Amino acid sequence: MRKFSSYGPVSTTSHYYVPRQELIDRAYSQLIGENLAEGGHYITVWAPRQTGKTWVMQQVVKKIIERDQFEVAIITMQSAKDVASAEIVLELLVSNLKDWFKRDFPTITSWNELPKLFTAPHFSKPLILIIDEFDALEEEFINKFANEFRNIYTKRLNESVQKSNEKSCLLHGLALIGVRSVLGIENISGSPFNVQHSLPIPNLTFAEMESMFTQYEQESGQKIASAVIERLFYETQGQPGLTCWFGELLTETYNKKNPTITMADFDYMFMWAVFGLGNNNILNIISKAKQEPYNHLVLELFKTNEKIEFRYDSPNLNFLYLNGVIDIDATTKKLYVKFACPFVQGRLFNYFSGELFGELERVSEPFADLEDTITENSLNVRNLLRRYQIYLQKNRDWLFKNAPRRTTDLRIYEAVYHFNLYMYLCRFLESKKGEIYPEFPTGNGQIDLIIKYVGRVYGIEVKSFTDAMGYKEGLKQAAHYGKQLKLSEIFLAFFVEYVDEANRQKYEVTYLDKETGVMVIPIFVETGNQ
């Protein structure tokens, strides 16, 4: 029986997979070209890690081989990572060609000798070359390769009257695979390839992802509840590596072998995925998100009252986008930034919360009377948030002494308060057998804290107070989210620097949303001067 695999290219005989035939055909057509005499295109194939770039191009190679009209190779430059010598890089390229074709190639020591490798003495047919891990190279070498490939491409176009296998250089088509689009904003001299031949690898659609689990059901005889499939797609947004990792955990590691994999099974697996397990994909994303200066931008993305516009030519946004931390939220008029998927946002939320406030210990006095807040049978969320504000005001100096601040005005990031509230609630509830977990329903900045205590679910939506208009919009949003959770009431925690008693009385009024029937209970949390 096949398995799910999230470690490197999948095997169509050993692993569940999605054919992705349209994507394969598109790459194949671009490398072959519309007119064989004119040659194929030189393209870049890019996407974040573990999205199936290499596998797609491996299928393209198989299709080209079946045509029996070209010589084709797929080699990797991973070994050239951190190499600082041009001679060694060129030596590695030649060595890879020798290994693939099982024949000798000339030694080259300078970049202008690169075209010699692709001439008639070494090839009898037009060549289609695919170079994997191309962006492992130092930027200097990427640009050197780009310049020479540009020259080769131009020279072949100038020989358009000759057949492809009669031209002075036989490099018919070229694909460069990388995490980055490799020849984008970093290359100040411009890209040698037409941008229309850039080939990003998209996430799986819901139908594609569902088909893999259908394959599993057919082979194993075990059913998977539809709610599990829906939740899995919501959390991963079809990111191939994460999807297959969740599939592996569900069907192997945490499979209880019952007739059906249920939401209870998913919740147990998800707890481990969020808190207890490492995965190369998610660990790489976290490592990128916590780096300077990108960590400041990630903290800004947790803002609840303002979206950030996406611009590909912003180096910091570009870095996070091409490394799978963020994605694009497209509207009819503008492009905005969102986290790549809720699972990524959740892991980042947990990472930063733990880094900043993981050492919180006592959040209430040992002999404090908590009867107005929590009993064996009930939880008063309003009073719990009141207690949090008292705690915040009393301890803010040491709590936020080393908190990250915006470089523009040195103010504490909004997200820091959200992290602190979450960790406070974790510490308050953990000894009382309560559960709390964050949810991120939009992928932008919205954060909702879900509390489970003695069989009841409580919802807290967290926002920053901006003005009366934002307040009203927040009430309606919270009501709709409460309806999704099937709650009759939901709490809306507004963080604000200062609120006087008159405004607290004016705005802390329970709101009944007529459309949803959900009561929203707004509560202000005063942070004090930053």
Domain boundaries, the chain: 21-200, 206-277, 288-526
Query: pLDDT band at residue 192, thresholds of 50, 70 and 90?
Result: very low
pLDDT in tens, 74-114: 999 999 888 889 999 999 999 999 999 999 999 999 999 99
Average pLDDT, the chain: 90
CA distance 517 to 36: 65
- Quickly name the fold that domain 21-200 has: Rossmann fold (3.40.50)
Q: What is the pLDDT of residue 88?
A: 95
Global pTM value: 0.87
Among the listed residues 143, 152, 137, 150, the one whose alpha carbon sits nearest the alpha carbon of residue 89: 137
Q: What is the dihedral of CA 422, 425, 431, 434, to 10 degrees?
A: -90
Q: What is the pLDDT of residue 432?
A: 86
User: Which of 4-8, 103-107, 426-430 has maximum average pLDDT?
Assistant: 103-107
Among the listed residues 231, 230, 213, the one whose alpha carbon sits nearest the alpha carbon of residue 222: 213
Residue 370 CA to its chain's centroid (Å): 41
Neighbouring-strand partners of residue 185? none
Query: pLDDT band at residue 55, thresholds of 50, 70 and 90?
Result: very high
Q: What is the pLDDT of residue 194?
A: 43
Query: pLDDT band at residue 46, thresholds of 50, 70 and 90?
Result: confident
Query: Percentage of the chain surpassing pLDDT 70?
Result: 95
Exposed e or buried b for every residue in 358-372, given b needs 16+ CB within 10 A? eebeebbeeeeeeee
**Greatest distance between any 2 Cα atoms in the chain:** 91
Provide CATH code, domain 206-277.
1.10.8
Q: What's the CA angle centered on 143, arms 141 and 146, to 5 degrees?
A: 110
CA distances to 36, 155, 164 from 159, rounded to whole Å, are: 13, 6, 9
Residue 33 falls in which region: left (phi positive, over 0), alpha (psi -120 to 50) or beta: left
CA distance 513 to 483: 10
Per-residue tokens: 365: 């006095």
CA distance 373 to 380: 5
Q: What is the pLDDT of residue 179?
A: 66
Q: How far apart are the first and last CA of the chain?
A: 59
Neighbouring-strand partners of residue 136? none
Which is more confidently placed, 432 or 128?
128
Residue 196 predicted with pLDDT over 80: no
CA distances to 83, 137, 255, 324 from 78, rounded to whole Å, are: 10, 8, 36, 19
Query: pLDDT band at residue 17, thresholds of 50, 70 and 90?
Result: very high
Using N-to-C axis directions, what is the helix angle for 21-32 and 53-67, rounded to 10°? Answer: 60
